[in-house]
Amino acid sequence: MSDPIEVVDNRPRNSEVVPVKESSVNAAWKNFECSTERKKSLQARYVYGFIFLLTNLLAWLIRDYGHKIFPKLYYLKACGVDGLECSRTNGVLRVSLGCCIFFFLMFLTTLKTRKLYEARNAWHSRWWTIKFVLMFISLTIPFFCPSFFIQYYGEVARIGAGIFLLLQLVSVIQFITWWNNYWMPDSKLKQTSILGLFMSTIFYIASTCGLVLMYLLYARRLSCTLNLFFITWTVILFIVMMLISLHSKVNRGLLSSGIMASYIIFLCWSAIRSEPSNSKCSPASEMAGKGDWTTVLGFLFAICAIVMATFSTGIDSQSFQFQRNEVEWEDDIPYKYEFFHAVFSLGAMYFAMLFISWQLDHSTKKWSIDVGWASTWVKIVNEWFAATIYCE
């Protein structure tokens, strides 16, 4: 008989256990790194928003107090006689250009960033010292540019501000659609539908009260024909949107039309509030020459509203995606960096138009923002455009 063949096991001990442990450790470490990078990315949004807020305040200081706070601007050749070309309207445009340059550079350097482990993600979320230096250089360069170049930028800024308003409008409509689907998704969910119906009632009551108040406050006289036209046309849009939402072929529900009605009524109210003080039916005529605390608070609230509108639109890149069913992975960035910075770059043009009331050849009064006939008609057109998009 032949001897039995002895089988020798040459595998190292725990050969099956070690790779499993190593892979689990690597996976846990990778998840930890992704979580850390994601937190830094989300926190970076607020830093950029704070930078944008500081830029808005700088534009206001240069517009109203630039000749007192920044006397050295008088000695720059590009600022002209007494430095007037670097203060007031031109000063706002120069600060806006600097802010636009900074965020446009951030747009170029973060373009097509998709993963948290990419170097461009670190550039977006960290290296703040270098970026603050870059911001300072970007804000300084426009003060050495000739005045005719700043005027050209002002014309471009009008277009950029219009694009920003369009993006903001799309973002608002997408939010209204999401809200309507969240509160009233299905008739089977009775509790959610009841809550949605309650919210619809609140919005419709608030919209009706807003229309009545606008008639009482801003159209008390028949001579206020323009205000009567604005408010009456808003009432017509309000009724049309409600009827379309209730139509059997549309069936959008009352909640979405109620929220949209409140939004267009707010735009109408804001447009009337933007009428210049020399208009006899303007609410600003009663406060002309009064720089009290209500004016200051209104001004500061308007600045905060600009920052919040820019911030909320910048992080809402999903509303502008063509492919909505993309698979998201753990190492994907939480929001589109290039879109975020592009919106802030357009937002720099938008706040410039608000500070100068969309006019390049007139200076605005102190503690005023977005006041003038140009501002009024921009908001009215925005209201009509919003209602048209919703109805379609």
pLDDT digits (tens, 9 = 90+) for 2-24: 455 454 455 444 444 445 555 66
Q: What is the tally of helices (H) and strands (E) in the chain?
A: 11, 0
Between CA 196 and CA 199 the distance in angstroms is 5
381 close to 251: Cβ distance less than 8 angstroms: no
364 close to 371: Cβ distance less than 8 angstroms: yes
Between CA 284 and CA 272 the distance in angstroms is 9
Which is more confidently placed, 258 or 97? 97
User: What confidence tier does 130 reach under pLDDT thresholds 50, 70, 90?
Assistant: very high
Q: Is-above-0.85 flag for pTM? A: no
**Distance from first CA to last CA of the chain, Å, rounded?**
93
pLDDT digits (tens, 9 = 90+) for 47-105: 999 999 999 999 988 888 877 767 777 677 788 777 777 888 888 999 999 999 999 99
- Which of 193, 165, 162 is closest to 180 using CA atoms? 193
Helical (H) or strand (E) element with 113: none
Long-range contact pairs involving 205-209 (C-beta distance under 8 Å, separation at least 24): 206/262, 207/238, 207/258, 207/261, 207/262, 207/265
Strand partners, 115: 332
